[in-house]
Amino acid sequence: MINRRRIKDKVAELLRQFSVVQPPVDVERIARRLGIRVRETGFDGDVSGLFVRKGQDAVIGVNSMHSEQRKRFTIAHEIGHFVLHISKPIYVDELVLHFRNRTSAEGRDPDEIEANAFAAELLMPEDFVQQSMSDLDNWDDEAVSKLAKEYKVSVEAFVYRLTNLGYMLDL
């Protein structure tokens, strides 16, 4: 079972540390400020990204063939590994539908599930989303699409986040 409070607290700490007060969250800037190098490369197959840590060095590799929204999610996911899973030196994540890899899609790998939850919280912080939703007069497809663009995430990711936060959408 993942500790969502721990994830939310870690993300809130990063947002405060780097003075992020509104969307979109600049995940590349956060990675750099944490001392993580981000490199785009053309991965074979369904690999969306990887994270390698060796001593004080850390690198996130991102699939250059993916959409900007997907790259942002991958970077946020790998930052999650950096922050949450300090003792593990390497992660390779595969893209299968909207999931990081088959294991996380099946809900069996707690590290991948945590990194996904971390990425969602970092890209779409609960407090930011609550404010955005309270500012809306109408929660229709157009409004949700506009917010997804504002957060620089896919509409699917934004709807999934809204659902996880308890918003009942009738889109």
36 located within any domain: yes
Q: What letters, b where the CB count within 10 A reaches 16 and e where it falls short, cover 68-107?
A: ebbbbbbbbbbbbbbbbbeeeeebebbbeeebbbebbbee
The C-alpha atoms of residue 90 and residue 54 are separated, in whole angstroms, by 9
- The verdict on pTM exceeding 0.75 is yes
81 located within any domain: yes
Given this model, what pLDDT does residue 81 score? 92
Q: For residue 71, what are the domain limits? A: 4-124
Q: Output the tens digit of pLDDT for each of the chain's 171 residues.
A: 788 999 999 999 999 999 999 999 999 999 999 999 999 998 877 788 888 888 888 999 999 999 999 999 999 999 999 999 877 666 566 443 223 344 444 557 888 999 999 999 999 999 999 999 998 878 788 999 999 999 999 999 999 999 999 986 665
Given this model, what pLDDT does residue 103 score? 46
120 located within any domain: yes
The C-alpha atoms of residue 137 and residue 95 are separated, in whole angstroms, by 35
Six-digit token pair at 160?
């999934």
Given this model, what pLDDT does residue 86 score? 79
| Spatial CA neighbour of 159 closest among 145, 136, 150 | 145
155 located within any domain: no
Listed in sequence order, the DSSP H helices in 26-67 are: 27-33
30 located within any domain: yes
Query: The domain spanning residue 38 has which CATH number?
Result: 1.10.10
50 located within any domain: yes
The C-alpha atoms of residue 39 and residue 30 are separated, in whole angstroms, by 14
109 located within any domain: yes
- The total number of structural domains in the chain stands at 1
